[in-house]
Chains A and B, each alone.
Chain A
């Protein structure tokens, strides 16, 4: 495709790496926030081509990975009901809950359907007026415009058999939580380009200033990533900390205004407990008062849930950049994509899955 190929030009990539090499006078630690960026970095070997002075640590930007365990357990309980058609994005199916996953519930007779878009779930609700249709509305800011529109349309149409189990998470509060952590090593962020294409990047200026941390809005192709890294290193070397946009073809400062308006109508900010990380204040969206009737959690009350994580899983440290996937003792042994112990091994955006898929086994063998 046009654009894509050009942003993969290996000649230009190698020159950018040379420039980064010349710029970096000491060791710097950068975090790419988004799981899509992590995959691109590992797939293209960008972390290995970079000079030793630039270390990339992988961020929490995998929505599947950070969806709270009690929400997964709630989804499993709702999906198992006889009167429910449960619709989900495909990557949620094998995310481990406390005891099982959606795939197993499906095997046990649950009517679970994988959809590409929340509007597909709406269509299923229109076609099955006698059944309850629940959509698992998770994700970062990128899926929120779609999920918000589905709820908005359901209300417009009076589609009473549709509801959504909402567990949205937000990037900027997570960046603050990482910088606030006493074990933080991150000195600059590559902000998630597609999150910014929705929300813009106004909000990041305060973070850059308060923490003295450069933030560069970055895309997903090799040249995008290297340009973002170069811009971040330049700021660090010059002792500056501001917000730059290295993904101008897709991101405007104000973001997508109609999408933001729809989100503001349908969702409201809430505290969220991130899987592996813990509670982060004001870091999620739930349905706003006007749309509470469509809240699946309220429609299908589930009693107290006793959650339990695998004791072998180090997902929290991986998500916060203090441990690499191949430094987890279970990586590639007890934990593989076929037998995942944590969500990071399941998701197409999870760091552990990326390391496994692209054969990064070096450290696991020796630990």
Chain B
């Protein structure tokens, strides 16, 4: 019950504390309260806890984080043969997390 689930806002109705929206959780659509995310719009992503959207996911920072993680990798692999070797060994072993 404590786990937040991310989904995409596909429809909004009502206002203020009565503002609700249809959210698509990877195929399952549920009606949830948008009372706590007054700025959210159709097409945005939110994390939902027990029927209430609590956070709007910030797409820009999601992409920044990913880009940063990926860039670090590439740079490290280019610059540090040890890292590259370790990575290759892992890949060859075929074990994934």
Closest to A196 in B: B55
Tell me, rounded to whole Å, the shortest Cβ–Cβ distance linking B58 to chain A.
5
Q: Given known contacts A3-B45, A142-B54, A250-B57, is B69 in contact with A223 (CB within 8 Å)?
A: yes
B11 within 8 A of A: no
Q: Is the CB of B54 within 8 A of A2?
A: no
What CA separation (Å) do A3 and B63 show in the bound complex?
A: 8
Q: Which of A12-20, A52-60, A328-336 is found at the contact surface with chain B?
A: A12-20
* Contact digits for B61-97, partner A, Cβ 8 Å, 1 yes 0 no: 1101110011011001100000100110011000011
> Given A149, A152, A220, A223, which contacts B52 in the complex, CB threshold below 8 Å?
A149
What CA separation (Å) do A16 and B90 show in the bound complex?
A: 12
> Given B2, B4, B97, which contacts A49 in the complex, CB threshold below 8 Å?
B97
Which residues in B have their C-beta under 8 angstroms from that of A49?
97
B14 within 8 A of A: no
Contacts between the two chains (Cβ within 8 Å), count? 149
Q: Is the CB of A36 within 8 A of B2?
A: yes
Q: Is the CB of B2 within 8 A of A12?
A: no
How many residues of A sit at the interface, in one of the four size bands? 35 or more
Q: Is the CB of A142 within 8 A of B2?
A: yes
Q: Is the CB of B62 within 8 A of A146?
A: no
Closest to A117 in B: B51
Q: Is the CB of A197 within 8 A of B4?
A: yes
A76 within 8 A of B: no
Which residues in B have their C-beta under 8 angstroms from that of A248?
58, 61, 64-65
What CA separation (Å) do A87 and B63 show in the bound complex?
A: 40
What CA separation (Å) do A246 and B4 show in the bound complex?
A: 17
Q: Is the CB of A143 within 8 A of B50?
A: yes
* Contact digits for A1-42, partner B, Cβ 8 Å, 1 yes 0 no: 111101100111111111101100000000000111000000
What CA separation (Å) do A120 and B90 show in the bound complex?
A: 49
Q: Is the CB of A222 within 8 A of B55?
A: no
Which of chain B's residues 1-21 have a Cβ closer than 8 Å to chain A?
A: 1-4, 6-8, 17
Which of chain A's residues 182-211 have a Cβ closer than 8 Å to chain B?
A: 194, 197-198
Q: Is the CB of B36 within 8 A of A256?
A: yes
> Given A36, A45, A64, A119, which contacts B33 in the complex, CB threshold below 8 Å?
A119
What residues of chain A have their CB less than 8 Å away from a CB belonging to chain B? 1-4, 6-7, 10-19, 21-22, 34-36, 44-46, 49, 61-64, 89-91, 116-120, 139-140, 142-143, 145-146, 149, 152-153, 194, 197-198, 220, 222-223, 227, 248-251, 256, 258-259, 262, 348-349
A-B CB contact pairs (8 Å), 16 listed:
A2-B8, A6-B66, A14-B97, A15-B72, A18-B86, A89-B1, A143-B49, A149-B33, A153-B17, A194-B54, A249-B61, A250-B47, A256-B55, A258-B38, A262-B36, A348-B1
User: Which 4 residue pairs of A and B lie closest in terms of their CB atoms, listed nearest first?
Assistant: A117-B51, A89-B1, A249-B62, A10-B96
